[in-house]
Amino acid sequence: MKLTDEDNKNIQEWLEERCSNIRCHACGNGKWQLLDISTLQIGIDLHTTRFFYHGGIPLISITCMNCGYMMQFNPTVIGIKPDEPPKERISTET
């Protein structure tokens, strides 16, 4: 899910209204940055044991400007409509 400029504005207003005193759980810093890429799903390839990312659960993510700790919010609660995932054709034919 890629955020538009309007999404960014709405998210920042929403966070300021409800969570204006967020402190980093790791270092106590109060400066955050909204991340542009907001969908995260991690899988693991059992053959190579490498992690991979693909379309998954949309999240609104902010990161601590001091230590990089990340925090996620549900976009639906904020009022951000996630992108529709691409339709996959499912067949039961063999």
Residue 26 as a binder of Zn ion (CB under 5 A): the answer is: yes
Q: Which is nearer to Zn ion, 20 or 91 (CB)?
A: 20
Q: Of the two residues 10 and 66, which places its CB atom closer to Zn ion in the complex?
A: 66
The yes or no reply on residue 66 touching Zn ion (CB under 5 A) is yes
Distant-in-sequence, close-in-space partners of 7: CB < 8 Å, separation ≥ 6: 80
C-alpha span between 26 and 65 (Å, rounded) = 12
Q: Helix, strand, coil: what percent of the chain each, to 5?
A: 20, 30, 50
Please report whether residue 23 would count as binding Zn ion according to CB under 5 A.
Answer: no
Q: Which is nearer to Zn ion, 3 or 24 (CB)?
A: 24
Residue 63 is a binding residue for Zn ion (CB under 5 A): no
Q: Are 80 and 10 in contact (CB under 8 A)?
A: yes
Q: How far is the CB of 89 from Zn ion (least distance, A)?
A: 44
Minimum distance between the CB of residue 31 and Zn ion, rounded to whole angstroms? 9
Confirm or reject binding of residue 29 to Zn ion (CB under 5 A). yes
The span from the first CA to the last CA of the chain, in angstroms, equals 34
